[in-house]
Amino acid sequence: MADPTTTYPGTTHTAGAEPVWRPAGRRRAGSFRGSRTFGRTGVDRGRARVVTAAVTLALVVLGALLIPWVWGADQGSVDYDAVRQPPSPDHVFGTDQSGRDVLVRTALGIRVSLLVALFCAVLATSLGALVGAVCGAVGGRVDRIGMRIVDAVNALPHLLLGILIVAMYRGSLAAVALSIALTHWTTVARIVRAEVLSLRSRPFIDAAVSTGASRWRVVRVHLLPAVAPQCAVAVTLLLPHAVFHETTLSFLGLGLPAHLPSLGNMMNDARGDALLGVWWTLAAPAGVLVATTLALAGLTGWWRDRLVPRRRSELEA
C-alpha cells in the first residue's frame, strides 16, 4: 500500500487524495478543444485567412494579366450581334449591353482600378508622412497649424469632398487621384506625427543634433526612414479603401472616363440591366471587387503585425 505522504513527481498531491493535476501535453478523451483537428484553432484560422487572402489576390492579379491575352483583347470590343448574352462556353461571364465580353472587360477593369488605387494610396501616404514628420519634428506653431488643418479635413465628409473635387474636373484621371489622396492623408499624418514625437527623445536623434545636423537633415535622414514601416502599412491599409472609393465615384458617374473599363464604370453601366434580369453584367465586377478588397484587407493585418514590431525592435536595439 502506498504511503499517503508520497508525492507524485512534479506535484504536491499525496497518494491518498484524488489527483486533480493532469500531465502536460495530455487532454481528456473526447475533449473538443484538445482534439487533433481543433487544436490551436486561433493560429490555424489566422494562417488560413492569410493563405486564402494571398491566393485570392494572386488569382485576381493573374486573371487581370492573362485573361485578355488568352481570350483576346478584341473580345472586349463592341459587338451588337452579341448583346446581353447569358454565360456560355464562348462567353464565360456573358456579354453586356454593347456585346462586350464581361470576363475580358472585368479583367481590364481590375487593372485600371488597382493601378489608380495604388497611385492614390502612395500619394496620400507620401503627403501624410511629410506633413506628420514636419509637424512632429518642428513642433510649436507649425505643429498646431498642421493639426488644425488635419482636423478641418477630417470634419468634412470624404465622399462629398471627393465628389466636389471631381465635379470641377469631370472625367479627369488626375482629379480622381487627387480627390482620393487629398481626403485620406490625415490618418497617416497623425500616425507619423505620433511616431516622430516618440523618436525625438531617442539617443540617435540627440547624437545627430549634437553633431550639428540641421532639423531638415534629421527629418530626411533619420526620422522618415524610421517611420517607413508605418508608411508601408498605411499604403496597404489605404489600397482596398482606394479601390472601393474609386469604384464608388465611377459608379456615381463622376469617376474615370466612361471608355475606361474600370469596375465602377462597369457597375454603373449595369444598373439598368438588373431590372431586365441581366444579372451577370453586375455580378461579375461586383464579385471581383468584393474579393479584391477582402483579400487586400486580409493581407494588411498580417503585413502590419510582421513589419512594425520588427522595425521597433531594430530601433530599440
Asked if 105 and 261 count as a contact pair (C-beta separation under 8 A), the reply is yes
Asked if 280 and 88 count as a contact pair (C-beta separation under 8 A), the reply is no
* Separation CA 60–CA 101 (nearest Å): 17
* Residue 304: φ, ψ to 5°: -65, -45
If you ran DSSP here, which 8-state letter would residue 20 be given? -
pLDDT at position 300 is 72
pLDDT at position 244 is 81
Q: 81-121 pLDDT, tens per residue?
A: 778 888 888 888 888 888 888 888 888 888 888 888 888 88
Residue 309's pLDDT band, with cuts at 50, 70 and 90, is low
Q: 173-204 pLDDT, tens per residue?
A: 788 888 888 888 898 899 889 888 888 777 77
Does 171 or 119 have the greater pLDDT score?
Answer: 119
Q: How far is CA 256 from CA 108, 134, 179, 259, 302, in A?
A: 14, 33, 12, 8, 32
Q: In the predicted model, what is the mean pLDDT of residues 60-84?
A: 78
pLDDT at position 307 is 59
CB crowding 7-31: b at 16 or more within 10 Å, else e? eeeeeeeeeeeeeeeeeeeeeeeee
* Separation CA 201–CA 38 (nearest Å): 47
Flag whether pLDDT at 16 surpasses 60.
no
Q: 237-264 pLDDT, tens per residue?
A: 788 888 888 888 888 877 777 777 888 8
* Separation CA 256–CA 226 (nearest Å): 36
* Closest to 231 (Cα-Cα) out of 109, 96, 115, 128: 128
pLDDT at position 195 is 86
Flag whether pLDDT at 27 surpasses 50.
no
Q: Is 1 helix (H, G, I), strand (E, B) or coil?
A: coil
Residue 164's pLDDT band, with cuts at 50, 70 and 90, is confident
CA 74 to chain centre: 32
Q: Is 172 helix (H, G, I), strand (E, B) or coil?
A: coil
Asked if 265 and 258 count as a contact pair (C-beta separation under 8 A), the reply is yes
Residue 44's pLDDT band, with cuts at 50, 70 and 90, is low
pLDDT at position 144 is 92
CA angle 159, 163, 168 (to 5 degrees): 155
CA angle 182, 266, 297 (to 5 degrees): 55
Q: 219-240 pLDDT, tens per residue?
A: 777 777 888 877 887 887 788 8
pLDDT at position 248 is 83
Q: 271-289 pLDDT, tens per residue?
A: 778 778 888 888 888 888 8
Asked if 84 and 97 count as a contact pair (C-beta separation under 8 A), the reply is yes
Residue 41's pLDDT band, with cuts at 50, 70 and 90, is low
The half-sphere exposure of 97 on its side-chain side, counting CA atoms within 13 A, is 15
Flag whether pLDDT at 213 surpasses 80.
no
Q: 121-150 pLDDT, tens per residue?
A: 899 999 998 898 888 888 889 999 999 999
Contacts with 316 (C-beta within 8 Å, 6 or more apart), sequence order: none
| CATH entry 1.10.3720.10 includes domain 108-316 | yes
* Separation CA 244–CA 221 (nearest Å): 35
pLDDT at position 109 is 86
Flag whether pLDDT at 24 surpasses 50.
no
Instruction: Give the predicted TM-score (pTM) of the model.
Output: 0.69
* Closest to 311 (Cα-Cα) out of 224, 188, 203, 186: 224
Q: In the predicted model, what is the mean pLDDT of residues 208-219?
A: 77
Flag whether pLDDT at 312 surpasses 80.
no
Give the other-Cβ count within 10 Å of 194's Cβ. 14
Over the chain, what is the mean pLDDT?
76
User: Where are the chain's structural domains?
Assistant: 108-316
* Closest to 267 (Cα-Cα) out of 244, 253, 286: 286
* Separation CA 229–CA 39 (nearest Å): 33
Asked if 218 and 209 count as a contact pair (C-beta separation under 8 A), the reply is yes
